[in-house]
Amino acid sequence: MRIAVLQVSIEDREPVSDRINRVASQVEELADDTDVVLLPELWMVGAFNTHLLMGVSQSVEGEFSQRMGELARQKEIWLHAGSLPEVHDAGVSNTSLLFDPTGKLAASYRKIHLYGFDDGEAAAVVPGDRVVSAQTALGETGLSTCYDLRFPELYRLQGATGATAFLISSGWPAGRIEHWRVLCRARAIENQAVVVGCNSVGTHAGVQMGGRSVVVAADGEVLAEASADLEETLMVDLDLDVVTQIRDSFPVLTNRRLG
């Protein structure tokens, strides 16, 4: 099973339409044996450009979603298209979109934990309230977004319903990138699950993104990690049977007594 993690560069000087076309071309050029593709959080506009979210917001049936669904269908891949500013009756949410190989929207996830202490995203975005997992080529797969990574109970809830892999779409800044690196491994180790985390690079809204997109095995081994500052694609072959082997050889989850 082959997964591609696209670490996208986001710069304010690049028009949104140009970035969408550029990233779509990168997906189109992936090897035909790719099974799962993951993109960063809010890559069309930049996670810290909260003042721009309303202007580019769309419904989950909008033009962006249609474009991503068609990409998934053409490539016959599971495409986690990162997140978009989703407009709905209550406002705008930071919503991840997951498409199956037929191009159908298989799952959407509204980010629950919003960054910013009464400002930034926390002031501009409506939080989600639903934990989301989906059956993908990775098996039962939990969806989460960036700041969610700091809240382990979300992943425990996903694991309790059978998740053996987590896809994390992110816009994590360089100043706290060591937290990202540790937390991705921690979520893998404590849940004995594969973690695939996709971050962005570049500088937008005056904030430098930290890169270090990563694929972590269920025992915490880093299988691949991207650079801190370059746009690049990680290609990783995963043996999904290894998750079962790890859980059988060290069945720590059977000793849980709380929750």
- Catalytic residue chosen out of the listed positions 111, 121, 184, 231: 111
Q: 78-88 and 36-38 as β-strands: parallel, antiparallel, unpaired? A: parallel
Summarize the confidence of residues 213-223 as an average pLDDT.
99
Instruction: Round to whole Å and give the CA distance between 246 and 135.
Output: 20
Instruction: Round to whole Å and give the CA distance between 53 and 165.
Output: 29
For 251, the 3-state DSSP assignment is coil
Instruction: Round to whole Å and give the CA distance between 184 and 168.
Output: 9
Residue 71, phi then psi, degrees to nearest 5: -60, -45
pLDDT at 258: 86
Query: 105, 113, 157, 100: which is closest to 133 by C-alpha?
Result: 157
pLDDT digits (tens, 9 = 90+) for 65-102: 999 999 999 999 999 999 999 999 999 999 999 999 99
- What tokens appear for 110 in the block? 């509204």
| Catalytic (active site) residue 41 | yes
pLDDT at 241: 97
pLDDT digits (tens, 9 = 90+) for 152-162: 999 999 999 99
- Catalytic residue chosen out of the listed positions 146, 184, 198, 231: 146
For 26, the 3-state DSSP assignment is helix
Q: Under CATH, domain 2-250 is a member of which superfamily?
A: Carbon-nitrogen hydrolase (3.60.110.10)
Local confidence band at 1 (pLDDT 50, 70, 90 cut-offs): very high
| Catalytic (active site) residue 111 | yes
pLDDT at 118 over 80: no
Provide the percentage of residues in the chain whose pLDDT is more than 90.
Answer: 98
pLDDT at 13 over 80: yes
Whether the pTM exceeds 0.85: the reply is yes
